[in-house]
Each structure stands twice: as structure tokens, then as C-alpha cells.
Amino acid sequence: MILPSIEDTSTAGPIKTATQFFHLNQLTTGLDLFDKKQPIVIIGIHGWQPKLIQPFVKLDSKNFCVKMAEAIRRKLNLGPNEGDITSIALDGYGLVLKRRDTFLKQIQGNQMNSDKIKKAKTLFVVGHSQGVPVSVLLLQQLIEVGLVDPDQQKICACLMAGISQGPISRFDPAKKLAEILDDDQSEELFDFQKSSSLISREYRNATIKILKRGVKIIYFASGNDDKVPLHSALYSSMDHPSIERGIYVADSIYEEKKFVADLVRILIRLRNNNHSDHGLLVLLSDSLIGYLKDHGHAGLTVEPEAYEHAVDHLYMSKEYKGVDAKFIDFDYTLLAKPRQTYIPWAMRGLLTDEKTIITEKLIPDFNSLRQNFKTWSPSPFDSVAMELKCNLQPFGDDTEEQYFEVYQNLSTKL
């Protein structure tokens, strides 16, 4: 499942899904937006693999396109043979900027694909892992050269398990190995750990530009990602009302790890609705590596619900053209990673954030979360969960009940 649900992430409050809205428009306005004959283009961009195994790996850009096309047909009630949907799967390894330039030349060199992109009413770009910054940089270039026009097209970047802020810090020693093996593509991944690096700046600037032009972005994290931390997959330092975020958690794991999964769901919901999470998503990232066990780094790329969320986000959320993004500089190298000891203070800051809790009507969520926390008994052999339980102890402190009583009284008067 994808958390939070799309109805839980709209800045305008609960919304209809694209399917529901499609039925409404059939009966009333008949908007061209949902014309079954409108041309739609999907661009798929696969991620990174170490140089040594690249010749043996099956590329998955085509699968991204297939999954997105299926989601579009489901959400817009298109039959198997209905709809004008073109898939463009881009394959090839290399450094991020090199891949961007290579893919741009491939598109420009194919007149049919160029024409399809230019005439499309809707464009989806789906990227995974290292393919996330490549997707954003390529999209920005397509706009620059005039093949894509956000003023005439609806555009969504569906970005999964992206390396936006670097790999997990415990991988840092692998950078030396990459240097020894002359694997420049692997080395570059670590440059994303610092916002001051050249490639981070290029990626950030491209993201800001496309958001201002009206492109919508949805970032997905995988609950058991063994390569990319939560804050990196969600690009936590970037803030704009056209950004949505979500995390993939297997249904069985959700029931087993309900407290942690619900906490993350609430924090992402806050970010999606333009509220502060008080830094908890970043602080919890290391603790959550390997905790919400499922299919790992690439697991969410086969999850139909992720692609459906992207369709809903594109068609149903508000447009914010001309709005500047906000960005916070970061450094997540091994020596500069966030301290886990900050977690209790961040949690206390969230619990005392009256405006956020009341505005978002989080009292029921927090009360349920508190009850789950009190009964949560991690195994003594689960060091990650034990540390997390200790760091989040302020949440279980009975003195916190006073805040919820006050908020409950205030919220009933609103």
C-alpha cells in the first residue's frame, strides 16, 4: 500500500480521485481534460547499477511505462484498446548529466517520438533511483528546447526511490571501492549527499525551474529501501505545493509495524499539506533502514497504487505555476549525518505544534498512535526498534495528554 492515501494528502482537504472526477465530468461538463482520445506520452527512465554487473541486468524502463499506462487506463476508465498512449522507454547507463544529454539526443533524433511528445496533452515521466535526477534534468531540457510546454500540457514526474540526497550513510566506505574500480557512476551517487556539490546544484535548479513552470512531482520512498534513506527518496529539503510524497509499505508489514508505519504516514501527510514535520523524517531515516521489511529498493516500482497516485496527483491537485520552491541546504555525509539524540526534541516540537495539530485535525490520529506506542514491545534483539522506542519516549509520556486535552477543546470550538 501507499501511505498516506491520496485523499489524505490534498492541500485542499479530502478530494475525489481521478476516477470519481471522470464520472462526474461525463455527466456534467465533459471537460476535454478527460477526452478519451487525448494523446498521452509516458517516458520511463531506469536507475543505476554497478558497472561490473550492468551487462547482465535487465533494464526496467519499459516496465515503468507499462505500469503507468495500465494505471492511466484504470483511473480514466479506458478500455484495453482505448486511449492514445505512447510509451518511450529510455535505456542507457552513465553519469547523470551524460544520461540527460544522451536521452535528449535520442528523443530529438527520433522524429516520431519528438512529434508525439510535442502534441501530447499529458506527459508522465517515471524515474527510479539514479533515474530520478536524470528524469528531472531531462524534463527541464525538454522544456528548454520547446518539445514540452507546461502552459499547454499537463505534466507529472513520478519519482521512485530517488537518490535526491544521496545513498544511506553506511554505504560511504563503498565510495573508496568505487574509486578503486573506476566506477564513476557509483562515485557520483555520494555527491548527492551534499547540496553544495555540482550535481546536487544542477538537480536542485532543474527541480525548482520545472516546479515554477507548473510541473507536478510525486516522490515515493520504499519502506525497506536498503540503498536510499527515506529523506533522500522524498527529497525532504525541497518544498513546493505541487510536490506530493508517499511511502510504499507491504500490507502485511503495515499490520506488523503499525506504530512506525502510521507515524511516517502522519509525517508525510504534514509535508504534503505544507506543514512542518519538525525534521522527524530526516532524523528517523537511519532508524527505518531495514525496519519496514518488504521488497527493498525496487519493490515499489511494481506497485500499481504508486502509479495510480501519480495519475490522481496530476489530474486532481491544484496548479501552482509561478510559485517559487523553498530549499534547505544539507550535508548527509557520514561525519555530518543528523544526530539520533535530536529525535526526542523534534517529537516534543511536533506534539506542541498547536497550529498543525488543530488545522490538520490530527487528534484522533495521535490518540490512536499513542495507544499503539504504549503497547509496542520491540524484541530485545531488534536494536533498531529498541533505539527508536527509546528516542520516541516523550510520545508515551503521560504528561503529553495535557496537550491533547487542550487541542481537543480548541478544535471543537473551530
Tens of pLDDT, residue by residue, the chain (414 residues)? 899 987 776 444 444 555 555 544 443 333 345 567 789 999 999 988 766 666 666 678 999 999 999 999 999 888 887 889 999 999 999 999 999 999 999 999 999 999 999 999 999 999 999 999 999 999 999 999 999 999 999 999 999 999 999 988 765 555 555 554 557 888 899 999 999 999 999 999 999 999 999 999 999 998 878 789 899 999 999 999 999 999 998 887 787 788 888 999 999 999 998 899 999 999 988 777 766 666 667 778 889 999 999 999 999 899 999 999 999 999 988 666 667 778 888 888 888 888 787 777 788 888 888 888 888 887 787 777 788 888 887 777 665 566 556 555 655 555
- CA gap 378, 257 in Å, rounded: 10
3-state DSSP helix/strand/coil % of the chain, to nearest 5: 55, 10, 35
Q: What pLDDT shows up at residue 29?
A: 32
Domain spans in the chain, listed from the N-terminal domain onward? 2-249+294-335, 340-413
Interhelix angle for 198-213 vs 131-144, to 10°? 50
The residue count of the chain comes to 414
Q: What pLDDT shows up at residue 193?
A: 93
- CA gap 208, 215 in Å, rounded: 10
Alpha-helical (H) ranges within 109-183 are 111-119, 131-144, 174-180
Q: What pLDDT shows up at residue 173?
A: 53
Q: What pLDDT shows up at residue 223?
A: 82
Q: What pLDDT shows up at residue 24?
A: 43
Is the full-model pTM beyond 0.75? yes
Tell me the C-alpha to C-alpha distance, in Å, between residue 283 and each of 21, 43, 53, 287, 345: 38, 33, 33, 8, 11
Q: Per CATH, which fold does 2-249+294-335 belong to?
A: Rossmann fold (3.40.50)
**Nearest CA to 227 among 129, 295, 136, 303?**
129
Tell me the C-alpha to C-alpha distance, in Å, between residue 135 and each of 38, 57, 129, 204: 23, 20, 10, 12
Angle, vertex CA 235, rays to CA 230 and CA 236, nearest 5: 80
Q: What pLDDT shows up at residue 25?
A: 44
Residue 120 · residue 266 · CB < 8 Å: no
Q: What pLDDT shows up at residue 354?
A: 80
Residue 247 · residue 264 · CB < 8 Å: yes
